[in-house]
Structure 1
Amino acid sequence: MPLLPPGISVRSVWEDNLELELRFLYTASFITPATPRPSRLASPSTTTSGTSSPGSSTSGFHPATADPHAANSVGYLEARGLSFDEHQAHGILTASRLATGLNGCGLFRRPQISWITYAGVYLIGYLMKILSMGNPLPDSLGGFLDMVRQFLGQDVYDVARIAVDCALPPGLEHVASSLCLVPAALSPRLAGAGSLLALLAFMRLKYEMLYGDVSRFRGLIHGIQVI
């Protein structure tokens, strides 16, 4: 992983420090969630996918003992430094425990926060599923977007959607490389550092390519809406 900008660190959150780390979120002005995308477990005629279901599995997921999973997804994560053994031993115990902490930390329904994502369809869906305590998500696009606005507010921006209008290549690493943020081959590969890369890309796009005005991208999630 390359050196991070001065004053910025990627912090690990486990069962034993969850409440402490959540306190820091209340002071945030920008939040950038990220998660690796799942791969399909079964044929297109089924609805089972991913390495785990955020609404039903424990965050201390281990492929040998937990939900059905795709071996290539597990290999992808392990090759990038994720230790399933550590998550089994020290990870947040359940999705409901994480949801309770997130819902109670004062982060959501705050107008002062901007939410930044890259190609955020999956990860915002995961976040909504966690926050809903595993209850079914709305079955319509309008209902889903209303839920997103309820929890995240109006200031949601997707770097992938902005990059399209700025004629940048697809893929966060390629966007970052085009913006001279970090060489593509050296970019961070796990969720925390990837979140930072998306935030840095957003800042550079906003202030150096769009002259500070990203209002027309407000509330647009790449892959859902079009301008």
Structure 2
Amino acid sequence: MTDAANTYTTWHTEPQGDARMAESHSRYWRHFIETIPERDFAAKTVLDFGCNRGGFLQLLHGIRPFRRGVGIDIASESVAVAEANKGNLPVQFHVTTDLSPWADSFDVAFSYEVVYLLPELRRHTEQMFQVMRNGGVYYAVTGCHTENPLWPKWRELIGGNSNAPVQDYSPEDYITAFVAAGFDVSVKRFGYDGFVTASKDRKYYPSILDALAYPAEYKLLFRLEKRV
């Protein structure tokens, strides 16, 4: 299923950028999975919104095996890689921006550094509410917001690297949209306290303390529960 008007071949303007992004995110994905309170996914159907090359769902299934998964993304070449590499993983990958085919389908959903790219944030939150089962939880992570002190510089840098236009949301903008959709909203700092690569690109992190503070303090983990 494809929504061609809103899709790209890769998220990064540079073709190998999506592969490098997946590699750099893996340690943070592991922290994400280990941070959430749910432990038993054996009977659950999960969604990864913004799945890119499928690495998050592969890691999730290795740590918390789930019954069935769906990954969606706007980057067609990256989704093709995810589909080619899934092996026996009980997952389907799709190139789309439209969630309407999956009404009432998911117990748990995830997005990692995706919501800041969505030009129609309210539409996304409303569709996510519709695809979650009653009692289901959507976890959304982003540090790309106006209260991140690095954001003015990042907005320009990310905008230059991304085929998808970068938006300019505050934490309150995210909260307002999630609440309006009907979710019970809570949030915590992402709180990553592991090692970071000391040679990280200084374009994004002028100081090594910036590289440490960003995933610990400014990256946010939203917990969005559907109660009807």
Superposed pair shares fold, TM > 0.5: no
Q: Which has the higher strand share?
A: 2
Higher relative contact order (CA 8 A, sep 6+): 1
Q: Which has the higher helix share?
A: 1
TM value normalised by structure 2: 0.27
